[in-house]
A and B are shown apart, each in its own frame.
Chain A
């Protein structure tokens, strides 16, 4: 274990192969007590990815003296040696996903697992661990393969998901499904800038904490959920761009692409009772909703990473779609980003 920590400490740009244990990734100062190492900082995205109800904690560590380049508000660039951890706690065990940026710009992915009663978090096979622990309704949670890690993390302009200007805005969405209030010590835009860990953030994003551009509070939460759970694949730069379906939420877009590319737009997915991606006013005939509400392997979206339906999201998206004017295929009258800084919201 000590050797592992030593290796990480001496190679700030990252190992070639995954360390054998979670402790060897440098997460802990003391593995026995699981106290965090110096420089390991917690954060809470406001629109978290839902994973079969797992409770989550997240941390990031930057090599000393380095900073994130935020010139591109929607695709931050992370320095070599950046490490991120995400812990998923289920009733039967804990899975911790780890990624580290190598010197050549590529990312190393690894997952560590510990079932209840086991002492150490050990490296899971690169092929993943289907059925790692039981969840609900007879379903089980799968530990993803490294290939699956890449599918989600390398389908957009940045491999780091959930750590962005929108996700770390202090203007947090109170209706975000599974969103937790930022805890003391969690990073946000202001603290990152104040600590010199985030450079070149566009001034306007400091003056006005970014938020989803929406007409109603329900729409704000719905678009934020889609951004955090679907936009990593359904965006304008990844391999699925030819579908013309965008569920990401770029900060400076005049109109959310998740509205432009869904309302009244025919879906390529064939279904007996739905044709459009979103049929304004009718969630029951909207493919987007039907696929979020499905839990069979053929229909459900996302296609992996979950086996259970996110009931909060299902209900939120139904409210949002049902509140639209029937037949609406436009995204007119959307407000522009606020121009006054919000305090204490």
Chain B
């Protein structure tokens, strides 16, 4: 190995260590709520749990209803015909999905007591994500929720997400039950 290559490798490794240390330091400096906010913002939660509307720049999440799930007031169009070639459809809000599993509606993640996660504990939230089951014990959480991906998060990250979700504005919105397959 020539000297230049060795120097480059050493330099690269040093940079990587420095970056990792900086990341770890930054991560450690975050409070659980800040860490949760970061994870929610970077893990696609708003993509489905915040209703989308047509804004001045095209479709975008309606942050006045952030993470409140499928709007109960939204009138669904008649379900599309089943199509084996294109089996999945989504409502314009991106909060209702139709597929071979039936129709799923994204959950209200705000701390509203009656309709959101207000009465949940961190343990229940973690159980739901870890087991992929509604309330940690019921039916399977339906597509497109990537529960198997989030189930790989460590306890601290899941607790941080829950801690952050407790801080966002509570929005009363009773999300419908999913519909069984036709």
Interface residues of A (CB under 8 A from B): 147, 151, 155, 233, 239-240, 242, 269-271, 294, 296-300, 303-304
Contact = CB atoms under 8 A, between A and B. Distances in A.
Most buried by A among B101, B136, B139: B139
B138 A296 contact: no
A237 B174 CA distance: 26
* Most B C-beta atoms less than 10 A away, residue of A155, A239, A297, A298: A298
Contacts of A294: 180
A112 B175 CA distance: 40
B135 interface: yes
B181 interface: yes
B33 interface: no
Nearest to B115: A268
Given A147-B131, A239-B124, A298 B139 contact: yes
A233 B137 contact: yes
A240 B135 contact: yes
Given A300-B139, A303-B133, 8 more contacts: A155-B137, A239-B127, A296-B181, A297-B140, A297-B180, A298-B102, A298-B139, A298-B177
Nearest to B177: A270
A160 B102 CA distance: 35
B155 to A, nearest CB: 16
Interface of B: 101-102, 119, 123-124, 127, 130-131, 133-140, 142, 174, 176-181
Contacts, number: 47
B136 A239 contact: yes
Interface of A is mostly: loop
B148 to A, nearest CB: 11
A270 B115 CA distance: 12
Nearest to B132: A147
B177 to A, nearest CB: 5
A-B pairs with lowest CB-CB distance, top 8: A296-B180, A303-B139, A270-B177, A303-B138, A298-B180, A298-B178, A151-B137, A242-B119
Contacts of B123: 239
B177 A269 contact: yes
Nearest to A243: B135
Nearest to A301: B138
A74 B138 CA distance: 24
25 contacts: A147-B130, A151-B136, A155-B137, A239-B123, A239-B124, A239-B135, A240-B135, A242-B119, A294-B180, A296-B102, A296-B180, A297-B101, A297-B139, A298-B102, A298-B139, A298-B142, A298-B178, A298-B180, A299-B180, A300-B139, A303-B134, A303-B139, A303-B140, A304-B133, A304-B139
Contacts of A155: 137
Most chain A beta-carbon neighbours within 10 Å: one of B135, B137, B138 = B137
Contacts of B130: 147
Nearest to B119: A242
Nearest to B138: A303
Contacts of B139: 297-298, 300, 303-304
B131 to A, nearest CB: 6
A254 B23 CA distance: 60
Contacts of A297: 101, 139-140, 180
Contacts of B138: 303
Contacts of B179: 298
A34 B79 CA distance: 55
A240 B180 contact: no
Nearest to B181: A296
A151 B180 contact: no
Nearest to B180: A296
B93 to A, nearest CB: 18
B177 A151 contact: no
B137 A270 contact: no
